[in-house]
Structure 1
Amino acid sequence: MLLRNIDQSFGLCHDTGLVVTQLVNHVLEAKVISSINIGEKIFIPSLSLTPFDHRISFQFQYKQFPMVISFVMKINKSQG
Structure 2
Amino acid sequence: MIYVLATGLLLAFTAEIGIRRIRSQAMIRLAAQLEHRLSLALLGKLMVFPLDSLRSLPVEQQRARLKQYEAVRSA
For normalisation by structure 2, the TM-score amounts to 0.20
Larger Rg: 2
Higher helix share: 2
Higher strand share: 1
